[in-house]
Structure 1
Amino acid sequence: MSYHDMTIKDIVGKISTNEVYLPAIQRRFVWGYEQIEKLFDSIMLGYPIGTFLFWKVEKSQANDYTFYKFIQEYHQRDNYLNELAPKPEMKDWIIGVLDGQQRLSSMYLALQGSYSYKKPRARWDNDDAFPKRLFYFNLLRDEFDEDEGITYEFKFLTDSEAEYIDEKHFWIPVKEALKWKEATDYIAYATRKNYLSNSIFIKNLTLLWQRIIQDKIINYFEVEAKELDSILDIFTRVNSGGTVLSKSDLLFSTIVANWEKAREEIEELLKNINNKGEKFNFDNDFIMRLCLVLTDCPVLFNVKNFKKENIQIIRNNWDGIKDAIKRTVDLLVEFGFSQENLTSRNSIIPIAYHIFKGGCLSNDDKKNFKIYLITSLLKQTYGGKGDQVLDSIRNALREEIDGNYVIKNENFTIDILINHKLPADKTLTFTKEDIEELFEYKKSPYTFMVLSILYPHLKLGQVKFHQDHLHPISAFTNTNLKKSGIDISKLKKWYEDKDKLANLQLLEGIENESKNKTPLKDWIENKIDNKPLYKTTNYIPNLDLSLNNFELFIEERKKLMINELVKFLRVK
């Protein structure tokens, strides 16, 4: 391992001429524009920006691995993934970046590209919300700002923003510095702009030229390891010093290093499933764990044990894995789930396992899937010791025949899981005491799950439903309650109970906005045509529905809801 240094201009030039690439084991570029602006402030101040680690690869070897180009025109919505490097473009020797990807990507974007990020409060589906911004330096500032925590002002600006000039602002594109070979070049620039007599302007130009063109800021170690295992070991060691890599991160690195299209395949899958319904936030970690469980690998895994043959198993089964997870997420949408209320991603893996292994997907299976899913989420089955629980549930679903694992039943039978003993005192069994505790939940993802059980007729995957307060929140002010003659000793309890399960219903979004602050009694009397049906489907007890009767309303509605929950959750 040898030590070298070079200038920022040198490394940016090498990236531009296809001499420096990103190995597939690197994660994608994630730095925000503010991080890039602060990086250049540190560079101008002469602060160390860390050592880099480069992998020198001969072209004959480079063809055996997968590399990606640096992003030049970053777009927060449309272009945030690195492009695969075409092998014919590679030189006799190339450099793969093992440590320093985010910093180098930031420098390259700043000096050779653009950064388009969404304007505040703008819609994601609005193309105009992502204006193209180039990287600029304010030549008229060199004082520390306590609020911003920076001395030198760098900004990604649109063309119109960069045109603004006053006594404290003169914006120069930072890439302009790459054109200056000698000091006379930036002096000529100052002369053309009529700022030759401005000392701050000249000082900043000089410092920018020195930092970008002259100073050898890029200090790096260079390794020439030939075996991928050695590179993975180095990568693991150097990257564990900062953000600690999870086991699934390392497995992902191993997979993409041995399977050329893995990153594209996984990112395409994530884009597909995350855009379903009201959106989800699945990530690489989830996909890696899913691959392990579905292909019957150990759930508690050791990255070093995953050799090429294990990766080959995942690769050979990839189409089936993709299909299983897509169909599983379709079920989530049908059940009304999204990133807002899916409180455990591990909980859906047994469903995907059943589908992947060829299990049925009838209406009865769907009902059992829903019972299992909501039960596991409400019981927080995967909270703590989740790996052990997942392994145990998989064992309950499968059996080994002639060296292969198959599911015990083509139909998803919830009773197998309810009666299965799980580790760490976890359980999928509901008791009456558990049901009682559900009514202590305030409006949250958990109350949505319970309400989705109580409103089985609603098409949750087709229409957006809100959790609505039957007795509206606006009624529960101290002033209003006292005015209604409510016993002062009950005020606190009533205020707590108003947000709990027994005062919530599922209501279509538009209808919820219409109902708004209307008292429950007035709403039913004046807005509901079929009052008996409405009361039955919404578990409304036959009693006086004025606010003064809130305590009895809660007690009686709770009884009606419990009767249905006991049946659905298979309470013994």
Structure 2
Amino acid sequence: MDKTFDLTDISDWQTNMESSPVTLPAIQRGFVWKPKQVEDLWDSIMRGYPIGSFLVSRNVDKFDLMDGQQRATTIFIAHYNPFDTNGLGKIWSLKIIPVLWIDIKPISKPDTSKYSFRLITNSHPWGYQSKENNKKLSVSDRRNALEIFREDEKNKSGYTTFSNSTVFPYDCTFPIPFCFFLKADDYDDVIKSIEDYLPDNIRTKEKKFSNKDDYLKLLKGDLKSQIEEILITTRKIKNKKINYDIIENETLNEEEKQDNPTLFIRLNSSGTALTGDDLIYSIYKSIFPDAKKLVEEINLNFIQPVQIISLATRITASKLDKNTFTRKMSVRDFQRRIKDDNFKSKLNNILSNKTFKELFQKAIDILSCKNNDQFIGEIPPILIKTFIKRNQELFLFFIYWLHINKEKDLTDEIKFKMTSKLFLFSWFNFKNEKLLWEEKINNTDFWEEPINEMMRWKNEYGIQLLLPPDMLREYYKQEHIVNKFKLQDEHRWGLDLNGVGEKIIEYYQEIKIKELENHISNEYFWKLINNLHSNRQLLLFVQREYINTEFTDFNNLEDLEDTDTPWDWDHIYPDSWHNGKHNINKGIKEWNNNIGNYRVLSLEQNRSENNNLSPAERLNSNSTQETSFIQKNDYKYWSKINEIIKDDKIDNHFNAITIRMINIYEKVWNELKIHDFIKR
């Protein structure tokens, strides 16, 4: 018996899943390779290098793929034609299929590669850098590629809604979709595919042609030999045989007697490693074959399936343990728990009925504040997703509280307070989730209670002590504070006890501690300012109207570990004006990465070539000021900055950034109604 597959066979496993002789068992994870790995594998295949064998097991009249999924999917990606998807059914694990191109005459490529493959994805629609194919394109390159893309009238929709058939790699010279070669019999077939499918406005960074017609002239002339040379190689590799080994039934029968899929774990150790939640998810799928479908139905595009399983296992454990806090499970913990029939049954039930999906949907609806009469606008999906990703303990507390209090009538006011508290905890460094669970999970009125006790809760890990914005503004208006930064005083970041500093200590004592030592007050103050200094989540919140308008479709969740945002974090005072330069006041360097100097700006709007426009030039229109959250009190200083600040005259820079930072904080304070949570 011939124990080999050729490349076309392997590609067909996914394009013809019903008739495919090889299937993907439930225990396997999704596709996780990064673009560099995809490109490198195809460079190896084209060079005739061995790529390893596949490991399968018999399953009635088919084979289950036990090892080799990443390579198999990479082979499929190269054969995938985004311009002709007729008959393409459900794919193993990819929701949005990347497209592989080849640069037929590259000016630059990775040092270890013979061929220059270029993978484009939904998050990186113009690919990565040609020389270092594990690095993103520069902002300038992405912006230039987007300008070319926008020339086509069909491409005026949202940044992330376009089809992968309308984009092309930018950092290259002469790119062609690699599937054109794999499906071609000769040179004429490749040219016909290019004529039929490539976008009319295709151009690349190297500017060797101006449009498709110009490109075709080159392909039919000077570049014909390059196409024919690649065709010679692709004809050879079409028949390349990849070996496979079979795990015999005796081995599998022995495995089935075990409580845990040890075989898969052992195989995994030599392939694409699974750890933690990923491995737990794979174990769960091996026990419950329908798990993947159930979990993906719950997904809602806000949370990864592996995280859903993690949350579900902890909710199940907490229910069995009378609402006690359950730490995130290790693989060993999960393997031990899943042996318990009661735990196994309840875990499967919670995932297989509608309750869990409805619980997730309810939580996300509350966090969005959509149609909530207590809040203006809507929380952008990216903020909700970031909250869930970074604060799984808080999110677990939230959904479990909703679960055990499902009969409680939740008014818009209570829902708004839920959202406010959760984002406050997230943005202001609450880290005491275990105590929160132990003392508050059964408290039906928790969301309406003041947060005073939870600021430095039990003397550690509570939410930061929050100052009223007016007090903070008054503090930074003081001349001696401005001078501290101007003169680069070593204590400039701490709390100066003179003047307004005394009011701040009195405020701390009023809301929290009657007798407060000065060094503790200094610690509270420094931590709050340090957090405000760099917390970009606050900026996303205050620019939410702009984000929701410009990026309504952006909800970044892909199977590839390949993420990006369709906007720049734009420095108002250009980073290039101080970065790498000598004799620049430290105050400029320290405050330039403050959120007061950042704004969210779409790639197509960020037209500042070489990032050299002055703040006065960047912010000179009312519409720009509105979308960038520039207020009159900070614009007063931005408008005076027309050139690089080379001496200690940093007053305008310091005032503009400090005032805007406090404006951002004030908007968060007012719109989340923080004052309602602090009892004085």
Match of 2:573 among 470, 473, 482: 473
User: Which SS does the other structure have where 1:217 is aligned?
Assistant: strand
In the alignment, the residues of structure 1 paired with residue 601 and residue 316 of structure 2 have an alpha-carbon distance, to the nearest angstrom, of 41
Determine whether 1:439 maps to 2:529: yes
Change (3 A) 1:320 1:109: same
Decide whether the 8 Å contact of 1:138 with 1:169 is kept in 2: no
1:498 Cα deviation (Å)? 5.5
In the alignment, the residues of structure 1 paired with residue 76 and residue 601 of structure 2 have an alpha-carbon distance, to the nearest angstrom, of 51
In the alignment, residue 243 of structure 2 is paired with which amino acid?
I
**2:396 is matched with which residue?**
349
In the alignment, residue 378 of structure 1 is paired with which amino acid?
W
Change (3 A) 1:211 1:273: closer
Q: Deviations over 1:425-460 (max 9, x none)?
A: 52235266545544345775x2442785xx69x868
Change (3 A) 1:9 1:516: same
- Sequence identity percentage: 18
In the alignment, the residues of structure 2 paired with residue 219 and residue 168 of structure 1 have an alpha-carbon distance, to the nearest angstrom, of 37
**2:349 is matched with which residue?**
316
1:323 Cα deviation (Å)? 1.8
**1:7 is matched with which residue?**
4
Q: How does 1:66-465 map to 2 (within 5 A)?
A: 91=61, 94-107=62-75, 117=99, 120=126, 124-127=160-163, 128-129=165-166, 134=179, 136=181, 159-160=193-194, 166-170=224-228, 208=237, 211-212=240-241, 217-224=243-250, 225-226=252-253, 228=256, 230=258, 232-270=261-299, 272-274=300-302, 282-297=303-318, 298-301=326-329, 302-305=333-336, 306-307=338-339, 309-318=342-351, 319-334=354-369, 336-339=379-382, 342=387, 344-346=390-392, 347-357=394-404, 358=406, 360-381=409-430, 390-398=433-441, 407-409=442-444, 412-413=447-448, 415=450, 418-419=453-454, 425-430=460-465, 433-440=523-530, 446-449=535-538, 452=541
In the alignment, the residues of structure 1 paired with residue 415 and residue 568 of structure 2 have an alpha-carbon distance, to the nearest angstrom, of 23
In the alignment, the residues of structure 2 paired with residue 571 and residue 509 of structure 1 have an alpha-carbon distance, to the nearest angstrom, of 43
Decide whether the 8 Å contact of 2:54 with 2:67 is kept in 1: yes
In the alignment, structure 1 segments of 5+ residues that lack a partner are 60-90, 140-155, 174-200, 275-281, 383-388, 399-406, 479-487, 529-534
User: Which SS does the other structure have where 2:65 is aligned?
Assistant: strand
In the alignment, residue 218 of structure 1 is paired with which amino acid?
Y
1:397 Cα deviation (Å)? 3.1
In the alignment, residue 273 of structure 1 is paired with which amino acid?
N
In the alignment, the residues of structure 1 paired with residue 603 and residue 225 of structure 2 have an alpha-carbon distance, to the nearest angstrom, of 52
1:409 Cα deviation (Å)? 1.2
In the alignment, the residues of structure 2 paired with residue 370 and residue 510 of structure 1 have an alpha-carbon distance, to the nearest angstrom, of 32
In the alignment, the residues of structure 2 paired with residue 474 and residue 418 of structure 1 have an alpha-carbon distance, to the nearest angstrom, of 42
Determine whether 1:500 maps to 2:594: yes
In the alignment, residue 473 of structure 1 is paired with which amino acid?
Y
In the alignment, residue 315 of structure 1 is paired with which amino acid?
N
1:166 Cα deviation (Å)? 2.4
In the alignment, the residues of structure 2 paired with residue 370 and residue 112 of structure 1 have an alpha-carbon distance, to the nearest angstrom, of 43
Decide whether the 8 Å contact of 1:25 with 1:257 is kept in 2: yes
In the alignment, the residues of structure 2 paired with residue 560 and residue 116 of structure 1 have an alpha-carbon distance, to the nearest angstrom, of 42
In the alignment, the residues of structure 2 paired with residue 42 and residue 510 of structure 1 have an alpha-carbon distance, to the nearest angstrom, of 37
**2:564 is matched with which residue?**
none
1:169 Cα deviation (Å)? 2.7
User: Which SS does the other structure have where 1:267 is aligned?
Assistant: helix
In the alignment, residue 26 of structure 2 is paired with which amino acid?
A
Change (3 A) 1:330 1:158: farther
User: Which SS does the other structure have where 2:286 is aligned?
Assistant: helix
TM-score (norm: length of structure 1): 0.58
Aligned length: 442
Question: For the aligned residues, what is the CA RMSD?
Answer: 5.6
1:493 Cα deviation (Å)? 1.8
User: Which SS does the other structure have where 2:64 is aligned?
Assistant: strand
User: Which SS does the other structure have where 1:427 is aligned?
Assistant: coil
User: Which SS does the other structure have where 1:23 is aligned?
Assistant: coil
Determine whether 1:23 maps to 2:81: no
Decide whether the 8 Å contact of 1:29 with 1:105 is kept in 2: yes
Q: Which moved more, 1:328-337 or 1:316-325?
A: 328-337
In the alignment, the residues of structure 2 paired with residue 426 and residue 22 of structure 1 have an alpha-carbon distance, to the nearest angstrom, of 45
1:170 Cα deviation (Å)? 2.0
Higher relative contact order (Cα pairs below 8 Å, separated by 6+ residues): 2
Change (3 A) 1:51 1:211: closer
1:25 Cα deviation (Å)? 0.8
Decide whether the 8 Å contact of 1:430 with 1:569 is kept in 2: no
User: Which SS does the other structure have where 1:98 is aligned?
Assistant: strand
Decide whether the 8 Å contact of 1:476 with 1:495 is kept in 2: no
Change (3 A) 1:41 1:552: closer
In the alignment, the residues of structure 1 paired with residue 675 and residue 419 of structure 2 have an alpha-carbon distance, to the nearest angstrom, of 14
In the alignment, the residues of structure 1 paired with residue 636 and residue 531 of structure 2 have an alpha-carbon distance, to the nearest angstrom, of 24
Please state which structure has a larger fraction of its residues in strand. Answer: 1
